[in-house]
């Protein structure tokens, strides 16, 4: 992979990790010149159309999430057989690694982390997106202590897959809510449960439910009471323990109902661990309460009941007993296992593997039952008679537009693939009418965010390209390709050109000192600088010459910056007293004085006046005085004023 360029834009640099579904690479976006993380689906999944369709839909939904604690999704693409998601690159480690390195976290840090995770979840839940796979492996810790949750909604895509997943996916079941394990109704509260487990792990360094195989763990999620966190770590305040146990309550109704409620309590204990928490917490014992047994009617699969009827009650599992009979009989246990399998495919594949060892008979199902074949993605024409001989008929129940399936392909089937069903039976299907075409609106001058939301609502893939523009303000749409009024259909890609405003180029201030002000003005205008502010000052420099500039030469400034120029108005007018000698040889002498050729004194002086008289001269800079005694030039002197 290294060195490969995806989408003409992302250069793969190195592998940074891999999980059950994908390999993750560090890459460089050559267009925006930044690092990104590229998640490339394992090839097994790329051939699974149903999975891909869901995967893309979920990635697109997650891409609409923008929150400091959520890893941003930038792009989704496919190149040949490579299906990839481009996301924000987080320099750091996973929370799992961090917990492992530190054994356990101080409760304050755990609360701070939980607040960050809960904020991310709150943002997603408000938009109707449930994570479904909250676990420390999906939470990245950046170097600055900021947590970022990744893989929003991807678990849902995975739950439709029939591909076997191995390896790291094993961990998932440790964070799975009871309703997920049971195959029941999953909602935002399932994420709250998983967050509870993550908090438990942070403050104790231990997983509340563990076992030698996923099935055991799943069953514990459903019915085993966790050991109180304070039994492992007494430093954990009671209030924090209560929050954890309430989040982990097996009963969805007893849990925090929203992440916002949980955030409120987390914030309160962060400030003061003695704080009183939201009311329900005061009197409930939370998850440590007595746990009702798993009742068969709570399970969702019909086969489960069929199996139960035929299964003899057994008592080998050795589960803890309570008055309601929390011990499961074999049929109930099978039921749970089946629920787990049908609800979470990531875990399922593993469980199937585990079950082959633990309950070899179960996998075969009953003799009369047959696994429902997978028809989604197949052409109806191809499969309509295919299973006739086996006693399975395929019936079209309706038609729908679809951006994921071509005309004639099956979008949906009931019963679902993989279920066991007694023969003969009918599979009702919905067939695709292909994409619905519509006319593209004119998005120019509209905000990019609105445009993106609008287009994505119509299942259009939005590609963002930034461009400078003089007349369209920043973050507004300049144009789209294809242009407004074009015919498009769901699944098409529309490139949206977004204005970055005008990116000003800096101007380098020229040296203006010594230039005549007229020349200086010309130089300024040629360099895209503003009309100067001119200030006249006295100076020995010639009048009209620039003697000082407010911004020194070579400074980088914005275009049309105004510079103040000091322009010489010549030297200042000054006066000086000068002594002029009166000759003593004669009684009287006529003295004439010229200043720069102009007569300033013309008078007869007498010996009796003394040896000298004073005159005051005024002028600018240097002046030349010429002294004429009785009409003869006797002295020429330069005076500095
Ligand atoms: P699962 O397949 O169940 O999601 P997982 O979360 O362990 O398992 P991946 O999501 O494929 O696996 O991620 C694998 C590894 O890649 C992570 O553990 C993490 O180290 C790294 N990683 C994932 N996303 C990013 C990212 N945005 N930035 C940096 N590293 C990442
Ligand atoms: Mg992950």
Q: Could you list which residues have their CB under 5 Å from ion ligand 2? A: 19, 138, 151
Shortest-distance atom of ligand 1 to CA 96: 18
Q: What top-level class would CATH report for the domain 369-432?
A: alpha beta
Supply 579's token pair.
């002594």
Note the pLDDT tens digit of each residue in 105-138: 999 999 999 999 999 999 999 988 889 899 999 9
**What is the token pair recorded at 157?**
């895509």
Residue ranges of the chain assigned to CATH 1.10.510.10: 92-283
| φ and ψ at residue 113, rounded to 5 degrees | -65, -45
Rounded to a whole number, what is the largest CA-CA distance in the chain?
A: 157
What is the pLDDT at residue 566? 96
CATH fit for domain 507-568, picks 3.90.105.20, 3.40.1010.10, 3.10.270.10, 3.30.10.20: 3.30.10.20
Per-residue confidence (pLDDT) for residue 387, from 0 to 100: 86
> For position 407, what pLDDT does the model report?
86
| DSSP letter, residue 545 | B
Low-confidence stretches of the chain (pLDDT beneath 70): 155-171, 280-368, 403, 504
Residues whose CB is less than 8 angstroms from the CB of residue 540 and which lie 6 or more positions away in sequence, other chains included: 568, 571, 621
Q: Is the CB of 150 under 6 A from ligand 1?
A: yes
Q: At 72, list the tokens.
A: 């941003």
**140 Cα–ligand 2 center, Å:** 9
Domain 92-283: give its CATH superfamily: Transferase(Phosphotransferase) domain 1 (1.10.510.10)
Tokens linked to 627:
């002294």
- Residue ID of nearest Cα to ligand 1 atom 19: 17
Site to substitute for ligand 1 among 15, 16, 152, 194, most atoms within 8 A of C-beta: 16
Cβ 142 under 6 angstroms from ligand 1: no
Portions of the chain given CATH number 3.30.10.20 = 369-432, 437-499, 507-568
Helices and strands (H, E) in the chain, number of each type: 18, 30
pLDDT at 368: 54
Quote the ligand 1 centre to 37 CA distance (angstroms). Answer: 9
Q: Looking at residue 280, what is its pLDDT?
A: 60
Whether domain 574-640 has CATH 2.60.40: yes
**Chain centroid to CA 225: how far?**
37
Domain 437-499 has CATH 1.10.357.10: no
Structure tokens at 518: 């007229």
Judge if the beta carbon of residue 41 lies within 6 A of ligand 1. no
Q: What is the fold, at CATH topology level, of the domain defined by 5-88?
A: Phosphorylase Kinase; domain 1 (3.30.200)
Tokens of 256: 């925090």
């Amino acid at each position: 992979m290294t060195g490969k360029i995806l989408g003409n834009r992302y250069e793969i640099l190195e592998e940074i990790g891999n999980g059950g579904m994908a390999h993750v690479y560090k890459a460089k976006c050559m267009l925006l010149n930044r690092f990104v993380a590229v998640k490339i689906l394992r090839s097994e999944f790329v051939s699974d159309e149903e999975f891909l369709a869901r995967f893309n839909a979920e990635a697109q939904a997650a891409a609409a999430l923008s929150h400091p604690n959520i890893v941003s999704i930038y792009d989704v693409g496919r190149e040949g057989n490579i299906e990839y998601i481009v996301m924000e690159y987080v320099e750091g480690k996973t929370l799992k690694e961090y917990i492992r390195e530190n054994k356990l976290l101080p409760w304050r840090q755990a609360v701070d982390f939980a607040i960050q995770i809960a904020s991310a979840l709150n943002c997603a839940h408000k938009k109707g997106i449930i994570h479904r796979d909250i676990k420390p492996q999906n939470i990245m810790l950046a170097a600055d202590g900021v947590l970022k949750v990744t893989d929003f909604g991807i678990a849902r895509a995975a739950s439709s897959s029939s591909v076997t997943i191995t390896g790291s996916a094993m961990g998932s079941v440790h964070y799975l809510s009871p309703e997920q394990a049971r195959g029941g109704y999953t909602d935002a509260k399932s994420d709250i449960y998983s967050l509870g487990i993550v908090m438990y792990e942070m403050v104790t360094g231990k997983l509340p439910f563990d076992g030698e195989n996923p099935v055991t763990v799943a069953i514990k999620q459903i019915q085993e009471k966790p050991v109180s966190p304070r039994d492992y770590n007494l430093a954990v305040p009671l209030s924090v323990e209560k929050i954890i146990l309430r989040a982990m309550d097996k009963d969805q109704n007893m849990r925090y109902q929203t992440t916002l409620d949980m955030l409120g309590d987390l914030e309160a204990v962060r400030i003061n661990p003695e704080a009183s928490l939201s009311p329900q917490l005061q009197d409930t014992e939370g998850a440590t309460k007595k746990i009702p047994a798993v009742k068969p009617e709570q399970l969702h699969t019909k086969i489960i009941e069929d199996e139960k009827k035929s299964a003899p009650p057994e008592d080998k599992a050795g589960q803890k007993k309570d008055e309601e009979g929390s011990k499961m009989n074999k049929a109930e246990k099978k039921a749970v296992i089946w629920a787990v399998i049908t609800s979470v495919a990531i875990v399922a594949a593993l469980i199937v593997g585990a079950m082959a060892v633990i309950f070899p008979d179960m996998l075969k199902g009953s003799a009369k039952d047959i696994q429902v074949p997978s028809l989604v993605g197949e052409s109806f024409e191809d499969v309509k008679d295919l299973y006739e001989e086996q006693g399975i008929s395929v019936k079209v129940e309706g038609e729908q537009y679809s951006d994921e399936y071509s005309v004639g392909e099956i979008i949906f089937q009931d019963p679902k693939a993989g279920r066991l069903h007694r023969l003969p039976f009918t599979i009702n299907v919905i067939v695709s009418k292909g994409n619905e075409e519509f006319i593209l609106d004119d998005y120019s001058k509209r905000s990019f965010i609105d445009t993106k939301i609008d287009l994505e609502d119509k299942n259009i893939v939005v590609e963002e390209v930034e461009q400078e523009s003089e007349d369209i303000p920043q973050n507004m749409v300049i144009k789209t390709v294809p242009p407004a009024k074009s015919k498009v259909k769901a699944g098409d890609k529309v490139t949206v050109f977004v204005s970055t405003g005008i990116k000003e180029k800096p101007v380098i201030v020229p040296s203006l000192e010594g230039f005549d002000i007229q020349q200086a003005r010309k130089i300024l205008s040629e360099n895209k600088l503003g009309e100067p502010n001119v200030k006249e000052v006295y100076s020995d420099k010639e009048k009209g010459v620039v003697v000082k500039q407010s911004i020194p030469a070579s400074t980088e400034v914005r275009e049309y910056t105004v510079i103040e120029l000091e322009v010489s108005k010549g030297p200042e007018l000054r006066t000086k007293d000068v002594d002029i000698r009166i000759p003593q040889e004669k009684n009287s002498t006529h003295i004439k004085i010229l200043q720069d050729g102009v007569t300033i004194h013309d008078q007869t002086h007498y010996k009796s006046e003394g040896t000298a008289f004073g005159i005051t001269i005024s002028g600018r800079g240097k002046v030349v005085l010429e002294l004429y005694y009785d009409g003869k030039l006797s002295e020429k002197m330069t005076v500095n004023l």
